Amino acid sequence: MKGRPLAAIVSAGLSKFGKRDGFSSRELFAEAVKEAFDTCPNLDPKKDIKALIVGNMSEAFEHQCHSAPIMSDWAGILPAPSVRVEVACASSGAAIRYGLFAIISGLCDVVMVGGFEKMTNRTTLEATEYLAMASDFPLEQWNGATFPALFALMATAHMHKYGTTEEQMALVAVKNHHNGTLNPKAHMQREVTVEQVLSSRIIAKPLKLFDCSLISDGASCAILTRPDIARKYTDTPVYIIGSGHGTDAIGLYERDDLTSLKATRIAAKEAYDMAGLSPKDIDVAEVHDCFTIAEIIAYEDLGFCNPGEGGKFIESGAPTLDGSLPVNTSGGLKAKGHPVGATGVAQLYEIFLQLTGQADKRQVDDCEIGLTHNLGGSGATCIVHIYRRG
């Protein structure tokens, strides 16, 4: 059966993303949790929630490991067992997948999944170093390769092989910044033009300032349950109907092709096959646009267009809000922000709003099927989920 529910999302919450001075990650997580609980009054958190699975990339930002019990405490769900998962920027995407495992196995009827990261309390240099820890140490970090540099290599390869242009990459930033102005929880609520993107300072050629996502603070959460009991908690559940996890070599130097991410192709195929759907069935998507080239490559690897046609896909207007396949209606990592551990469930949050008709000024008409695509590092990890309106 196409679209057979694996689990149901009955509520979700998101903190405001941005430079949240004076707020710790535990406070941001409590902010996200409060929204999830407030919009699901039939849920009894202490009684119903049987586990917490939370994504977080680095202990370095707040000098704090063993963070899962802290988040469980601040969510008010102790003594529910809790665990932190880490696969770099895909950490909370993995939390969703392991939450699914808990539901499907029958071990838990209701679980909370989420993610968090507090980043702006560190200098840009420190944040760049901590993020670079998700790349290979001896052959990338040690030689000075940061993530802007690694994705710049991908951009250069894509431009050389397919003729992709800096203007096409700039169109991704323009689109996502526009969507961010419609999202009150986005970090960057500011329009940009192609000219502003192209004239912004070089970070790692050909990537410029406005080609890069933001260093942000934020947290996200969602409540998952068995599909057969979902309507006990809400009249408008959203079902997870496909899940895929792909893994590739961590270092770019080990990969055969820098213009495509094997982990995405693996994860997407698994999720599409599980859902019994194909790319043409997707109505709205949140993809991992840590850099503008990453969104263009995602279009291709997810099957939204043919290899090498990602630049033409954005030029066509297809992924804009009123296009045939709106992508990153939230503003994406580019404008909404990228508190790395929170991103995967933040993507779920946007799709949950879209499929339940709660996305306000950025609402996509008549959307029934959504997709999230969450990368870890330079693409060694990818988590893809597919969702259906209840």
- Known catalytic residue at 178: no
- Report the Cα 174 to chain-centroid distance in Å: 19
Q: Are 157 and 258 in contact (CB under 8 A)?
A: yes
**Other CB atoms within 10 Å distance of the CB of residue 262:** 18
Question: Which listed residue (177, 288, 338, 373) is catalytic?
Answer: 338
- Which residue from 214, 22, 23, 219 is spatially nearest to 127, judged by alpha carbons? 214
- Which residue from 278, 284, 305 is spatially nearest to 168, judged by alpha carbons? 305
Q: Are 352 and 63 in contact (CB under 8 A)?
A: no
Q: Are 170 and 295 in contact (CB under 8 A)?
A: no
For helices 68-75 and 25-38, what crossing angle results, to 10°?
Answer: 40
Length of the chain: 390
Sheet containing 52-55, strands listed edge to edge, beginning at the edge strand earlier in sequence = 82-85, 52-55, 110-117, 218-225, 7-14, 238-247, 381-389, 369-376, 284-286
Start-to-end CA distance of the chain, whole Å, equals 15
Strand partners, 84: 54
Question: Which listed residue (40, 89, 221, 367) is catalytic?
Answer: 89
- Which residue from 54, 81, 48 is spatially nearest to 67, judged by alpha carbons? 54
Contacts of 314 (CB under 8 A, 6+ apart): 168, 171, 172, 175, 295, 296, 299
Q: Which residues of 189-219 are buried (b: 16+ CB within 10 A; e: fewer)?
A: beebebebbbebeebbebbbebbbbbbbbbb
**Other CB atoms within 10 Å distance of the CB of residue 21:** 8
Q: Are 13 and 288 in contact (CB under 8 A)?
A: no
- Report the Cα 177 to chain-centroid distance in Å: 16
- Known catalytic residue at 221: no
Q: Which residues are catalytic?
A: 89, 338
